[in-house]
Structure 1
Amino acid sequence: MPTVTGKTTRAERMAQPLAREVAEQIAADKGVCIRPVSLRRTDIATGHTEVIDVPCGSTLASRCPACAKRKRSMRRSQCEEGWHLTEEPEPAPDDPTEVQQDWVAKRAVVTAERDRLSDEGGASAEELAALDAAIADLDEEITASGLRGSVAPSSAPSRPRRARSTRRRQDAPDLPKRQRKNTTLGRAFTDPASGKVFRPSMFLTLTLDSYGRVRSDGTPVDPATYDYRRAARDALHFSKLVDRFVQNLRRVAGFDVQYFASVEPQRRLAPHVHMAVRGTLPRAEVRQVAAATYHQVWWPCADEPVYEGARLPVFDEATGDYCDPATGEVLPTWDEALDRLDEDPGAEPHHVVRFGSQVDAKGVVAGSEDADRCVRYLAKYLTKDIAECHTVETPAQEAHVDRLVEALRFEPCSPRCANWLRYGVQPDGAKAGMVPGFCRSKAHRREHLGYAGRRVLVSRKWSNKTLADHKADRLAWVLEQLGVDPDAPDIEKVGGVVPLVNGSFAWELARPTDPDVPPREHRLLRAVGETLKRRARLDAARSPNLSATEGSAA
């Protein structure tokens, strides 16, 4: 409250909420993006321009709660639609039309002429450029005709793939193998009593091995003996292990297993995966697959540092290589280091990552409460960073995070990681300014805890829909409720948010300092107002439909 003199003290002013934060809070409560991106749209025919705010599309609630909530909702829809399918989600491709075949044939003729002139060496640069332009135009026509992919692979030289032995490790059990069927659907069962046919699916949880005893809060009983190095390396390569598990599961199942999975950390900070799998297998076989799954990382040895402290390799501007600071000797390149590894018959992998013995597998039936509960669990932490999934509440937990982050600091996360300089190897694609311990990869960031892969893992034939398809489905539903024809030649913006006007426009990014861009708080409040009007319009459009439905039901 103001003082008797009518003036507010500094403490009272500081206690007053900021208008900007209030605007953000209102926008978040109403489901409006709080970090909108301003785009300037110019009608090429009339020259009329307007600034349109589009959602930022963030998947993290810490950045934008509204966008993250929408993304999580679409992921839930994607998971639900693909889990218990009874028909193949992806139909066989159509036969090519005569028009498509004609365009491909023309492309072949022009390509052959271009190759002939190039081989003979008598063509001018202008002639070759004209043929390249013609080939590019034909590629556009081929794509516009409805063909997927490219008719010709990239001509850019690629690095030869390194071949390694495919013999299984002696310390890993063998995998059974079934004859493969060209289907994504699991086995169907018939209830002998009712005759009802159903296709149960699975919900799996896979975790990494133990690194030492931990307490109930996830902190190690003895931090001195806790294997932080192995924990860091397992987290860095966890995504590869999950990919290998899916490959082995398909081999054992005998059909093209489809999955929807999410990755999150346990309380001990090690990543684990929850996976909805279409179809079912015996639990004993699932555990056998998990026990037999491993991933070997064939990288140069990075156990003992060669350079550390102030003694680090220096970059030679003339050659583009890193050299020993004392002798000037050029460090081996990434390819040279791998060549040495290939030539060593007794070489061991840099790291081998495996799952732990704890494997949870249970059957789930479509339409059950258990299925809905599993879908909610899969989407529970999708809007949070890895480190945000479990709140640090005690000094012991904070120290546990610090030790893991420190163990990750100098671990190479990829062939291009700057940490390879610490172990006497030039990173792949080395460039000036690389310093060990300061790799910019997200795997080394505190909020990721070593896991740099995707949080959501979805197989290609899960629901035959991408997130863009699910977004289009939602937009189509809104237009249907409003009675709007999406193919009409001239459509107003729905609620002033989604531009649906057909025509030719030029788009450019509008800067916040541009004179035609209102302040952010003003744009947020305007978006809130438009959102409320759009919802009111949608509710009004749905009311007659709901009344008619209730009347017919009665």
Structure 2
Amino acid sequence: MRTRPRLFVTLTAPSFGPVHRTGEQCRPRRDRGTCDHGRSLGCGAVHDAADPLVGQPICPDCYDYTAHVLWHAHASKLWDRFVIDVRRRLATSAGIVQSRFAQHARLSFARVAEYQKRAAVHVHAVVRLDGPDGPADDPPAWGTADRLTDAVQTSARRVLVRTPYSPAVGELVLRWGSQIDARQLRADGDGPDDDAVAAYVAKYVTKGADETGAGTDHKLTTWADIDTAPVSGHVRALMRTCWRLGGLPEYAPLHLRTWAHTLGYRGHILTKSRAYSTTYAALRAERAHHVGHADILDTVTERNWRYVGSGHTPGAALIAAGVAEDLAASSEIARDEREVSR
């Protein structure tokens, strides 16, 4: 399969407003212009990667938090339409009927979602072109890496998703960002190789939203949970936007409050098409077969269980009580701060 047409594709979210970034100068400007809220439109500072300002909006009031959250909520649908359109572009360029593409070739992929510093998801994917029977089948003669590259780049720029109409928001048209990258994976060393891509992708698979500073690893059940979450002001604003939009009936199918902890993004971190490789069901079955039949020396399997008890030990009970007191105090402090700000 290393000789098949394969691409390492990166698709980004669009801009929802200027943010602080790393580089020689963040956002240099010759004029001293300000936005409608009186904040400077530029930033002459030099930020390193560890600077907490990196990824934060230049002006939070100008930043389009609504579009950011709704883009996250529709990112999986945007990816689905992208894949469908790539198949159509390939069929058209090869001179075959679009509905018969599956009789000639199969498009497979493995995709990873990564949170950027600005708390927006972008996608890394390995896209491969196989024959109609999948990995065991060679692609047709017209299935070249160049043709696949053209189809990917064209589809990424043309597909869109429209949000449900809302009296409060209107209808938004959501697209991929302008930064689109499609690199051919080659077995001859001329370009990215499989090991480099695997290491790159694995780095993001093992990171959750909380580790990237773009959310939490647990769901938020109340508005107070958002107030006390250990996140930046930018991420907190995104969570609050999820909560507010989640209360609108037209956005009920998006379950934005349920996914406020991931800033509205509802997809999995890692997804793949069925024919890209072995299925997860097959892996589970193989693992179960191994555990059930493998003869491992000096291994004892305990199948008899008895009830011992439930609840905390005396020492654990004291710790739990202390944690509960700390949480109650934090909630009270947050409530007092909200009252003062009013």
What TM-score do you get using the length of structure 1 for normalisation? 0.37
How much has 1:250 moved relative to structure 2?
1.1
Task: Quickly say closer, same or farther: Cα 1:468–1:400, change in 2 above 3 A.
Answer: same
Indicate yes or no: 2:275 matched with 1:461: yes
User: 1:200 touches 1:366 (CA, 8 Å); kept in 2?
Assistant: no
How much has 1:460 moved relative to structure 2?
1.5
Q: How does 1:191-206 map to 2 (within 5 A)?
A: 198-206=3-11
For residue 203 of structure 1, give the secondary structure of its aligned residue in structure 2: strand
Task: Quickly say closer, same or farther: Cα 1:253–1:284, change in 2 above 3 A.
Answer: closer
Indicate yes or no: 2:160 matched with 1:294: yes
Q: Equivalent residue for 1:262?
A: 112
User: 2:161 touches 2:174 (CA, 8 Å); kept in 1?
Assistant: yes
User: 2:242 touches 2:257 (CA, 8 Å); kept in 1?
Assistant: no
Indicate yes or no: 2:168 matched with 1:303: yes
Q: Distance in 2 between matches of 1:458 and 1:400?
A: 31
How much has 1:520 moved relative to structure 2?
11
Q: How does 1:519-534 map to 2 (within 5 A)?
A: none
Q: What are the superposed Cα offsets for residues 291-316 of structure 1, whole Å, 9 maximum, x if unpaired?
A: 1111123x341426xxxxxxxxxxxx
For residue 268 of structure 2, give the secondary structure of its aligned residue in structure 1: coil
How much has 1:206 moved relative to structure 2?
0.2
For residue 245 of structure 2, give the secondary structure of its aligned residue in structure 1: coil
Q: What are the superposed Cα offsets for residues 166-187 of structure 1, whole Å, 9 maximum, x if unpaired?
A: xxxxxxxxxxxxxxxxxxxxxx
Q: Equivalent residue for 2:179?
A: 358
User: 2:119 touches 2:214 (CA, 8 Å); kept in 1?
Assistant: no
For residue 381 of structure 1, give the secondary structure of its aligned residue in structure 2: helix
Task: Quickly say closer, same or farther: Cα 1:387–1:485, change in 2 above 3 A.
Answer: closer
Q: Equivalent residue for 1:251?
A: 88
Q: Equivalent residue for 1:235?
A: 72
Task: Quickly say closer, same or farther: Cα 1:498–1:288, change in 2 above 3 A.
Answer: farther
Q: Equivalent residue for 2:58?
A: 221
Q: Distance in 1 between matches of 2:276 and 2:168?
A: 41
User: 1:259 touches 1:275 (CA, 8 Å); kept in 2?
Assistant: yes
Q: Distance in 2 between matches of 1:520 and 1:371?
A: 49
Q: How does 1:145-224 map to 2 (within 5 A)?
A: 198-216=3-21, 217-224=54-61
Task: Quickly say closer, same or farther: Cα 1:212–1:520, change in 2 above 3 A.
Answer: same
Q: Equivalent residue for 1:495?
A: 299
How much has 1:212 moved relative to structure 2?
1.5
RMSD: 3.6
Q: What are the superposed Cα offsets for residues 293-350 of structure 1, whole Å, 9 maximum, x if unpaired?
A: 11123x341426xxxxxxxxxxxxxxxxxxxxxxxxxxxxxxxxxxxxxxxxxxxx73
What TM-score do you get using the length of structure 2 for normalisation? 0.58
How much has 1:458 moved relative to structure 2?
0.9
Q: What are the superposed Cα offsets for residues 224-255 of structure 1, whole Å, 9 maximum, x if unpaired?
A: 21111111111111111011101011111233
User: 2:256 touches 2:264 (CA, 8 Å); kept in 1?
Assistant: no
For residue 205 of structure 2, give the secondary structure of its aligned residue in structure 1: coil
For residue 274 of structure 1, the aligned residue among 115, 118, 124 is 124
User: 1:287 touches 1:359 (CA, 8 Å); kept in 2?
Assistant: yes
Q: Distance in 1 between matches of 2:172 and 2:265?
A: 16
For residue 15 of structure 2, give the secondary structure of its aligned residue in structure 1: coil
Question: Structure 2: which amino acid aligns with 1:203?
Answer: F
Task: Quickly say closer, same or farther: Cα 1:289–1:281, change in 2 above 3 A.
Answer: farther
The structure with the larger Rg is 1
Q: Distance in 1 between matches of 2:293 and 2:200?
A: 37
Indicate yes or no: 2:191 matched with 1:375: no
Question: Structure 2: which amino acid aligns with 1:376?
Answer: A
Q: Distance in 1 between matches of 2:309 and 2:297?
A: 19
For residue 177 of structure 2, give the secondary structure of its aligned residue in structure 1: strand
For residue 200 of structure 2, give the secondary structure of its aligned residue in structure 1: helix
User: 1:387 touches 1:449 (CA, 8 Å); kept in 2?
Assistant: no
For residue 283 of structure 2, give the secondary structure of its aligned residue in structure 1: helix
Task: Quickly say closer, same or farther: Cα 1:261–1:520, change in 2 above 3 A.
Answer: farther
How much has 1:273 moved relative to structure 2?
0.8
Q: Equivalent residue for 2:99?
A: none
Task: Quickly say closer, same or farther: Cα 1:467–1:289, change in 2 above 3 A.
Answer: same
Q: Distance in 2 between matches of 1:258 and 1:226?
A: 36
Task: Quickly say closer, same or farther: Cα 1:353–1:426, change in 2 above 3 A.
Answer: closer
Q: Distance in 1 between matches of 2:71 and 2:84?
A: 19
Q: What are the superposed Cα offsets for residues 13-60 of structure 1, whole Å, 9 maximum, x if unpaired?
A: xxxxxxxxxxxxxxxxxxxxxxxxxxxxxxxxxxxxxxxxxxxxxxxx
User: 2:160 touches 2:173 (CA, 8 Å); kept in 1?
Assistant: yes
Q: What are the superposed Cα offsets for residues 65-96 of structure 1, whole Å, 9 maximum, x if unpaired?
A: xxxxxxxxxxxxxxxxxxx36xxxxxxxxxxx
Task: Quickly say closer, same or farther: Cα 1:426–1:241, change in 2 above 3 A.
Answer: closer
Indicate yes or no: 2:264 matched with 1:450: yes
User: 2:73 touches 2:256 (CA, 8 Å); kept in 1?
Assistant: no
The percent identity for this pair of structures is: 29
User: 1:286 touches 1:361 (CA, 8 Å); kept in 2?
Assistant: yes
